[in-house]
Amino acid sequence: MLAPWPTGLLPEASQGTVPTPWGPVTVMEAALDDLLNAEVGAWWGANLTGATVEPSRADRHGRWFLAEHDGATYDLLLCSFGTGRALSSLTQHADRANAMTATGHVQLPVAGCTVDGHEALLVWPHAAQVPLDASLDLCDQFRAAGRVLATLEPWATPPVERRWNEALATVEQRLGASTLWRAPHDRVTVGLPDLQLSLHSLVEGSEGPRFRPLPRTVDEALTGVLGRRPGLAHAMALEGEAVEAGRAADEGGPEGWFAAWSEGAPSDWSRTRALSTYRGGLWIWRYADVMRWRGRAMAWDDGDLQDATKTWLEDVDRLQARLGVLRMWRSLLWLGAAGVAAAWYAHALGALTEGPSLVLAAASVAVGAGGWLRYRAAEPGPF
């Protein structure tokens, strides 16, 4: 059972740490038996020594196995590529793990093995997959995702707009993108502990579908904005998956999904200023997510996905051109302020009498206010 290989990124049968145009890639080579018996790497969590294992499937993450041990059944993921150990680290922080699992919407791994700083094997209690099809209630899943992310708020950090913008610049450079987008972000757009939620990794639970966080795929590790992303980034990543699955018109579409997400997440995260397109808002994180999708298309030689992302990025150029024009309207605010200052100084120095000074000041206020109102009224909405 072979896992898919990113032939657009590195040659098949590559071994060790391989240089690529997007950065070095580590191919994981440890055998499953060696990992289970703790002969390689650092094992954590439940002991599965002597488990009976059989292959079940393969995907971009690696190879999956079904294991039996002491009367319990487990799902095992043998990772194909090294993409860090964020999931293991998060799971081993008991306070954060307990907060998330208490929602009933998450299934975290119960064991795993890391090799050279990368997750090589992850273990979950067995659960059936939940398909992303018409039977799945999207609003329920977005609401659940908001609740899960809300539990991580105590460990949030202030916005790191410089790092987020630098990460986007790196991705743009790696993918050879012609687009360029930077954002200031709002102060409530806080960074959350590293976590990957996906509608494609839902599994059955006693209270309905649960998110099973997975490690990143190799393309995501090289083309995604990593680390402490804000809640809005997670919401837009889920939106992208739902749209890509052909469900853009279901349950109110992106606007309805985001409203459901906002019900579960802290209210500050979706306040008007945080959603402002001028400050990045939802669109900057949609852009980051589409760049991730484009990286996937290029790495896995998916021509249709490449075409779709190219079309979306062409719309980004038009959106940015519109934002540039609107910023010209905002500049009238400064022109108006300069006019008011000039009127005051001219009157103080005796260059203008009181009447003309008041006329100049009033005209300046009108110009500045008109420009500002036009700037605010024409802002592109989040949907």
Compute and round to an integer the Cα radius of gyration of the chain: 25
Mean pLDDT over 280-297 rounds to 95
Residue 54 structure tokens? 């059989």
pLDDT attached to residue 100 = 98
Mean pLDDT over 281-304 rounds to 95
C-alpha–C-alpha distance, residues 57 and 2, integer Å: 9
The closest of 9, 128, 113 to 57, measured between CA atoms, is 128
pLDDT attached to residue 364 = 62
Could you write out the DSSP letters of every residue in 239-259? Answer: HHHHHHTT-TTGGGHHHHHHH
CA 100 to chain centre: 18
Residues 107-150 have pLDDT tens digits of 999 999 999 999 999 999 999 999 999 999 999 999 999 999 99
pLDDT attached to residue 2 = 86
190: amino acid identity, one letter: V
Yes or no: say if 118 and 104 are a contact pair by the CB < 8 Å rule: no
Lowest mean pLDDT among 86-100, 114-128, 317-331: 317-331
pLDDT at 360 over 70: no
Mean pLDDT over 342-369 rounds to 64
pLDDT at 274 over 60: yes
pTM of the predicted protein model: 0.89
C-alpha–C-alpha distance, residues 92 and 160, integer Å: 25
pLDDT attached to residue 317 = 74
Residue 169 structure tokens? 């610049």
Residues 190-242 have pLDDT tens digits of 999 999 999 999 999 998 999 999 999 999 999 988 889 999 999 999 999 99
C-alpha–C-alpha distance, residues 217 and 229, integer Å: 17
Residues 12-31 have pLDDT tens digits of 989 999 999 999 999 999 99
Yes or no: say if 183 and 166 are a contact pair by the CB < 8 Å rule: no
pLDDT at 334 over 80: no
C-alpha–C-alpha distance, residues 344 and 364, integer Å: 11
The closest of 10, 42, 37, 39 to 26, measured between CA atoms, is 10
pLDDT attached to residue 352 = 65
Residue 227 structure tokens? 């680390």
Output the CA–CA distances (angstroms, integers) from residue 264 to 48, 103, 141, 187, in the order listed.
36, 11, 10, 20
Yes or no: say if 54 and 75 are a contact pair by the CB < 8 Å rule: no
Please give the sequence-ordered ranges of beta strands (E in DSSP) within 140-283, or none if there are none.
202-203, 210-211
pLDDT band at 38 (very low <50, low <70, confident <90, very high): confident
pLDDT at 333 over 60: no
Mean pLDDT over 320-327 rounds to 69
Average pLDDT over the chain reads: 90
pLDDT attached to residue 180 = 87
Output the CA–CA distances (angstroms, integers) from residue 284 to 52, 168, 290, in the order listed.
47, 10, 10
Q: Which residue has the higher pLDDT, 374 or 262?
A: 262
pLDDT at 326 over 90: no
pLDDT attached to residue 366 = 64
pLDDT band at 380 (very low <50, low <70, confident <90, very high): confident
pLDDT at 329 over 60: no
